[in-house]
Structure 1
Amino acid sequence: MSVTQTFSRRAAIAGIGATEFSKDSGRSEWRLACESVLAALADAQIGVEEVDGFALFTMETNPEIAVARALGIPELKFFSRIPHGGGGACAPVQQAALAVSSGVADVVVVYRAFNERSGHRFGAGPPPFAYVQNTDQEYRNWINPYGLLTPAQQEAFLAQRYMAKYGATSEDFGRVSVLSRKHAANNPLAWFHGRPITLEDHQASKFIAEPLRLLDCCQESDGGQALVIVSAERARDLPHPPALVSGAAQGVGPQQISMSSYYRPDIDEMPEVGLVARQLWQQSGLGPAEIDAAVLYDAFTPMVLLQLEEYGFCGRGEAKDFLLDGNLEVDGRLPVNTHGGQLGEGYLHGINGIAEGVRLIRGTSTNQPAKAIDNVLVTGGSPVPHSGLVLSADR
């Protein structure tokens, strides 16, 4: 039996929990982490003492040992860390599912908690660790002198090329933002609950890094989100319908550089995303036609369009028309970011998006499509090293 056969659909997300999403939490990141873990365990109705694994980000400031101590978790048999920030968003779930499906651990928790608005803001420029002289930060020597200091500036470079090559416009990007805010307006958990925008609002918002306007950029949020992963067999005995992990993949493409892979023949393409897509379709036995909804990492609006193309939902340069035709609406072919995304709900490196994928499988999204949702694609950030999931209903 192959690795893929033993892995797919043998683990499930059984619990989700979060703090509020705010601009000033008023408490430590450690506390946010603990609150979100307790909320997810309560949702799954699993005791704290049963947790025996954590899968986290290298950027997480709250170590697994600190959270274990604070919550009274007696033992940990498994713990791992994934780099690359939002690009690795789905990879901790992959690690957790692999651990559970192989019997290494029984209850693995993924969490992400930080004060990204009231603490260090990514949009304010390179973080303190960027000035450490090591190979991990070497790439900044090639971009910072040219004014590419922030994620928005780095991704604007790619967006400009995409516009020139395929005729996309700022309004095309704006429609992504309008849709996310429309969904967020109906989501009581979202920071922008009750506050939709129009395309005119988007076009009137200031440039952050041309062509990216303020309303093309994700939020800076304080908060915490956690997920509980157990075996599919156990998940079936818990209160909520399990969200089976049908596929979980990571990808690094040729000439990969964090958010600035400008030395490729075509910088408007993201081969690491295509690599993850191929793995997900192989693992799950599904393809784009079988995906009923998607949660696409929307740090910046152009990346939603590029991901639609890389995952095969439409051809190169066609995403703007795919969106304009209403395909991403709640009642469309592929409802996208029904929670409001990181543009509208909150920015927690995509973990809140995974939680929305679970809600779509459960049928409990505040913008639940009328059609049956059997399979949901969830993605990490791009064009950094990428990751993705396919979550499926247990039917």
Structure 2
Amino acid sequence: MKPIAGIAAVAGVGVRQYRRGASPLPERGVLIRAIIDACEDAGFDPAQIDGFVSYGDDRNEPVRLMSDLGTRELTWSSQVFGGGGGGIAGAIGQAVGAIATGQAKAVIVFRALVQDNSGRLSAAVMAHHLNGHMMAAGLVAPAQVCAIRAQRMFEHHGVPVSAVEAFVEAAYYHGARNPEAVAYGKDFDLEAYRSARWISEPFRLLDCSRENDGAGALLIVSAEEARDLRKPPVHILGVAQGAAAGWGDLLENDADDQYSTGGFRSVARQLWRQTGLTPADIDVAQVYENFSAQGVASLIDHGFCSYESVGEFCRFENLIAPGGKLPVNTAGGNLAQGFIHGIGMPIEAVRQLRGESANPVPGARTCLLAGGPGAPIVSSAIFGTAETV
């Protein structure tokens, strides 16, 4: 497999985030602002953008963005299948492919979500997850589907609840120190977490990502061009996406003991093989957590720990910046930073490797991005500083 390291890099990032239902602009207007922010971050003319990629059933067609941005010509337009956040890294991979094959020179990877325009995210997600026999059993929301899988992880595989609590506490620790996070300035109260209202057992309120209005964008160009722009380039070392046999709707039959996983086993194998890296080479991770237990499942799937060792690995002190063994979700993640269908996760990966994170990991050279666990298609990527290429 030919590695993609050295082909393309993230040159700029931009994000606009608001409380759900409180966006000052319609969805497309917020997205345009985020794209312009990403271009200003890079010192790049928005009119030179010639490609767009998204995921998760985003409704903003690139051709409708052209006039607002002054785009001269559109040469690439694509989206990753599936309504969940599993396609985030896959979208970045599509942008790299467009640049590698000469079909585009400057690609925006984006996601926008404003409730007054797109409605609640759960409806879009469940359009890809629900089937007749699930609905007949009363499973009508993402929390229910993921809750049953989490319960199996606890009861059948023996994952201790303490591992999930530490994962959540680390997210809120980082969010409390990030001025852009919804949890900024708020101390995490473990007893309040444990006594919060049930959403779907074993999930309580703070185990769940809660939607924000907003938009995020990453500007991806060739590695050569990125070196000449305003900010240090963050290189894309590898991307893998897909699903193992038996995933998707067939997962409910659990032919290969995948039911309680995040779905990343095959994708992680691709990623490590493609990059020549191992979990030990990763300095920091941004792990999409639609629900807390699924974030822990992603860490297991990627080989950072096993069902047997996760209790020891997922301890609070191991998961926080600056000195944890593997700092995770250093902006607060979907739980504590804010949730615009996960687009904040790759943006934090870039900021972390530039040294711009609110919770920096000194000397970090590599960052794993794991997309939405449990989605019909899942994907992961590894970002690196210039020294890693």
TM-score range normalised by the length of the shorter chain:
over 0.9
For 2:201, the equivalent position in structure 1 comes to 210
Paired residue type of 1:328: L
Is the aligned partner of 1:9 residue 2:6? Answer: yes
How far apart, in 1, do the equivalents of 2:55 and 2:367 lie? 23
Amino acid at match of 1:234: E
Following the alignment from structure 1 to structure 2, what is the Cα–Cα distance between the partners of residues 271 and 113?
Answer: 24
Q: CA deviation at 1:305?
A: 1.3
Measured against aligned partners, the alpha-carbon deviations of 1:184-215 in whole angstroms (never above 9, x if no partner) come to: 11111111211131211110111100001111
Between the aligned partners of 2:285 and 2:262, the Cα distance in structure 1 is 19
Is 1:280 the equivalent of 2:279?
A: no
Deviations 1:304-335 (A, max 9, x none): 21111111111224223211262211111111
Is contact 1:21–1:189 with CA below 8 Å preserved after alignment? Answer: no
Q: Which residue of 2 aligns with 1:121?
A: 120
1:373 aligns with 2:372: no
Aligned twin of 1:315: 306
* CA displacement at 1:72 relative to structure 2: 1.6
Aligned to 1:95: 94
* TM-score normalised by the chain length of structure 1: 0.92
1:173 positional shift = 2.2
Q: How does 1:168-207 map to 2 (within 5 A)?
A: 168-207=159-198
Q: 1:300 & 1:363 partners in 2: Cα distance?
A: 28
* Alpha-carbon offset, residue 71 of structure 1: 1.7
- Structure 1, 359-368 or 95-104: larger mean CA deviation: 95-104
Q: Indicate the residue corresponding to 1:224 in structure 2.
A: 215
Relative to the length of structure 2, the TM-score reads: 0.93
Match of 1:64 among 62, 69, 82: 62
Letter of the aligned partner of 1:263 in structure 2?
A: N
* Structure 1 residues 355 and 80: alpha-carbon distance in aligned structure 2, compared to 1, 3 A threshold: same
Please name the residue that 1:355 is paired with.
347
Instruction: Specify every segment of 5 or more residues in structure 1 that has no aligned partner in the other structure, as ranges.
Output: 131-135
Deviation at 1:21, TM superposition (A): 3.4
| Inter-partner Cα distance in structure 2 for 1:350 and 1:128 | 13
Query: Hey, what's the Cα distance between the residues in 1 that align with 2:242 and 2:281?
Result: 22
SS of alignment partner, residue 380 of structure 2 = strand
CA distance in 2, matches of 1:377, 1:21: 26
Residue 324 (structure 1) aligned with residue 322 (structure 2): no
Aligned equivalent of 2:17, options 17, 20, 26? 20
1:81 aligns with 2:71: no
SS across alignment from 1:87: helix
Kindly tell me the number of residue pairs found equivalent between the two proteins. 382
**2: CA distance between counterparts of 1:79 and 1:90?**
16
Amino acid at match of 1:72: G
Give identity over the alignment, percent.
Answer: 34
**Secondary structure at 1:224 match in 2:** strand
Counterpart-to-counterpart distance in 2, 1:287 and 1:181: 27
Distance 1:29 1:325, change over 3 A: closer
2:330 corresponds to: 338
Question: 1:205 and 1:13, CA in 2 relative to 1: closer, same or farther beyond 3 A?
Answer: same
Q: Name the amino acid aligned to 2:314.
A: L
- The alignment status of 1:262 with 2:252, answered yes or no, reads yes
Which of 369, 383, 386 is the equivalent residue of 2:378? 386
Alpha-carbon shift at residue 284 of structure 1 (Å): 1.6
1:48, distance to aligned residue in structure 2 (A)? 1.3
2:138 is aligned with 1:144: no
Correspondence for 1:133: none
Is contact 1:294–1:376 with CA below 8 Å preserved after alignment?
yes
CA offsets 1:32-90 (integer angstroms, 9 cap, x no match)? 11111111011011101111111112511111011112222121111111122301111
CA contact (8 A) 1:309 1:316 kept: yes
CA deviation profile, 1:237-271 (whole Å, cap 9, x unmatched): 1121111000011021222226x822114244538
Whole-Å separation in 1 of the counterparts to 2:185 and 2:87: 31
**In 1: Cα distance, 2:170 partner to 2:222 partner:** 35
SS at match of 1:19: strand
C-alpha separation in 2, matches of 1:170 and 1:118: 38
Unaligned runs of 5+ in 2: none
Q: Is the 8 A contact 2:236 2:381 kept in 1?
A: yes
Change in CA separation of 1:247 and 1:127 when aligned onto 2, cut-off 3 Å:
closer
Does the 8 Å CA contact 1:53/1:107 hold for their aligned counterparts? yes
Which whole-Å CA distance do the structure 1 matches of 2:78 and 2:124 have between them? Answer: 23
Given the superposition, is the C-alpha separation of residues 127 and 81 from structure 1 closer, same or farther in structure 2, using an over 3 Å criterion? closer
228, 231, 242: which one pairs with 1:251?
Answer: 242
1:31 equivalent to 2:29? Answer yes
Question: What CA deviation, in whole Å up to 9, does each residue of 1:214-254 have, x standing for no partner?
Answer: 11001211000000000111111112111100001102122
Which residue of the partner structure matches residue 294 of structure 2?
A: 303
Q: Which residue of 2 aligns with 1:106?
A: 105
